[in-house]
Amino acid sequence: MHEFKWTVRVYHEDTDGGGIVYYANYLKFMERARTEYLRELGFEQTDLLEQHRCLIVVKHVEVDYIRPAVFNDQLLVTCELTSVQRASFCVRQQVIRVDKPPEQHNNEESGSCLPDVLLVEGHVRLATLAADTMAASRIPQPLLNVIRSPD
């Protein structure tokens, strides 16, 4: 199954006094990657709202903090669908520290010698709601078509 990757740079705003990325901020990184993943699939959340009156909300997260990210780290945040239900879907997301900007990242022949390091792993369940009632609502068909068969 397709695994989407999105680059995130760590800025001062992301760190805390311990010198590491504040634990809540990885959830921001993960949502940026989810937003860009949907955009790559052709779905803008603004369009989902306007055309389908559909909101996507987070219902559950589980996050393992393995190693900390620090200021200036270049991160890759992945997003991979793991299951799709009628009115919700689940993704697995990893935050990985890379040592080169993503442009060179896939270049096997480059001189990079430092391996990627897994920092954070999360599982997120998202639900689709009817914007007008905030009640659970089927995933709109065009979105369902795409995430059902992402490859």
Binding site for its own copies (CB under 8 A): 9, 11-13, 15-20, 22-25, 27-28, 31-32, 35, 44-46, 55, 57-65, 68, 70-72
Q: Choose between 58 and 145: whose C-beta lies nearer to its own copies.
A: 58
Q: Residue 21 carries which DSSP code?
A: B
For the chain, what is the radius of gyration of the CA atoms?
Answer: 17
116 is catalytic: no
- CB count, 10 Å around CB of 34? 21
Q: Choose between 28 and 138: whose C-beta lies nearer to its own copies.
A: 28
Q: Answer for the pair 84, 115: CB distance below 8 angstroms, yes or no.
A: no
Please state the closest distance from residue 24 (CB atom) to its own copies, in A: 4
72-97 in b/e form (b: 16+ CB < 10 A) is ebbbbbbbbbeeeeeebbbbbbbbbb
Q: Choose between 72 and 85: whose C-beta lies nearer to its own copies.
A: 72
Please state the closest distance from residue 89 (CB atom) to its own copies, in A: 15
Catalytic residue chosen out of the listed positions 14, 16, 132, 151: 16
Please state the closest distance from residue 149 (CB atom) to its own copies, in A: 26
Short-list 68, 33, 63, 56, CA closest to 126: 56
Please state the closest distance from residue 108 (CB atom) to its own copies, in A: 25
Q: Choose between 126 and 139: whose C-beta lies nearer to its own copies.
A: 126
Query: Distance between CA 91 and CA 80 in Å, rounded?
Result: 5
Residue numbers annotated as active site? 16
